[in-house]
Amino acid sequence: MNKTPPPTEKLQKVLARAGLGSRRTIETWIKEGKIKVNRELATLGDRVSIYDDIWVEGRKVQLARLVKPQRKVICYNKRLGELCTRSDPEGRPTVFDHLPELAQGRWLNIGRLDINTTGLLLLTNDGELANRLTHPSYQIEREYLVRVRGEMTKEIVQKLRKGVELEDGMAKFEDIIPINKEAEVLQEGESEPLNLWYRVILTEGRQREVRRLFESQGLLVSRLKRIRFGHAELPRFLREGQFEDLDKVSLNALLQSVKISPAKEPKESIAEIMATKKEAEKKARKPAKRPIRREVRSRRRKK
């Protein structure tokens, strides 16, 4: 009974996932003859499986780096003053200071929050998922709690819902919802409320977009907290600076929203894959038996 052939992927995709460089960089290496597959020079368009040996500039890529890791997504409650970067020249704290270590791959932001914004930050080890969830074409909603200082009139609300021209293009809120009774929008000329809370929803993640939208109307954002990203909500009891795995229902809903199928558990462990490869290599090295021709044997008997 023949085994089903192992699934293959493009060589540059596999090596990019292993963290060896971007796909474009790896494509350049392939053209320059720096990559071999099973001791032969790779070419653009090559597809590989986990059973292939891959060499980059004379060094063999370890199997553990080639095996596609199990998809992980976590919710992190970002604190005020933290950066969404891996390191900071000024030594300021980053969200990566508090994340669990991964056996494979690395954590990637699903969208960023600026230093003065708190709340929900999703992180994953799946680059494709991170790219799709932040791509404008998928229109993934982001929801924030925002404390606004200034006079919020009906005219301003209409403008922010319809769209405002910013320096990098048109931007708008899908909705603006007052949180407290005092935050109901005012008629022109009424008294000016201060520090009132609203919920705002938008489908983009441009830099400081929420703040810039309000600033375009002469309003100041004094507090900003993200509470939802797509189908994922900030867990109610998750304290600032803490993380937890995204629940399965929310994860599957996120995957569905960007047309990604839920990952299946690998059928074989790394140890089993290694054993299979060693067995195949052993068979390949074993010399074939040379048959003795009958006529030669018969001549020897006559002598």
The yes-or-no answer on residue 247 being catalytic is no
Domains 1-68 and 73-257 share a fold: no
Query: Is 281 in a helix, a strand, or coil?
Result: helix
pLDDT of residue 255: 95
User: Is the overall model pTM greater than 0.95, yes or no?
Assistant: no
The pLDDT tens digits along the chain (303 residues) read 446 677 888 999 888 877 787 788 899 999 999 999 998 999 999 999 888 899 999 999 887 777 777 889 999 999 999 999 988 899 999 999 989 988 777 898 998 999 999 999 999 988 888 888 998 999 999 999 999 998 888 999 999 999 999 999 999 999 999 886 555 544 444 445 567 899 999 998 899 999 999 999 999 999 999 999 999 999 999 999 999 999 999 999 999 999 988 765 555 555 666 677 666 666 666 665 555 555 555 555 555
Rounded CA-CA distance 53/194 in Å is 65
Rounded CA-CA distance 260/252 in Å is 9
Rounded CA-CA distance 164/238 in Å is 35
Domain 1-68 listed as CATH 3.10.290.10: yes
Measured in degrees and rounded to the nearest 5, phi and psi for residue 59 equal -115, 135
pLDDT of residue 63: 78
C-alpha distances (whole Å) from 37 to each of 20, 93, 160, 282 are: 15, 42, 55, 18
Q: Which of 88, 97, 114, 245 is catalytic?
A: 114
Q: Which CATH fold would you assign to the domain 73-257? A: Pseudouridine synthase (3.30.2350)
Per-domain residue ranges of the chain: 1-68, 73-257
Rounded CA-CA distance 222/80 in Å is 12
Identity at 64, one-letter amino acid code: A
pLDDT of residue 290: 59
pLDDT of residue 127: 81
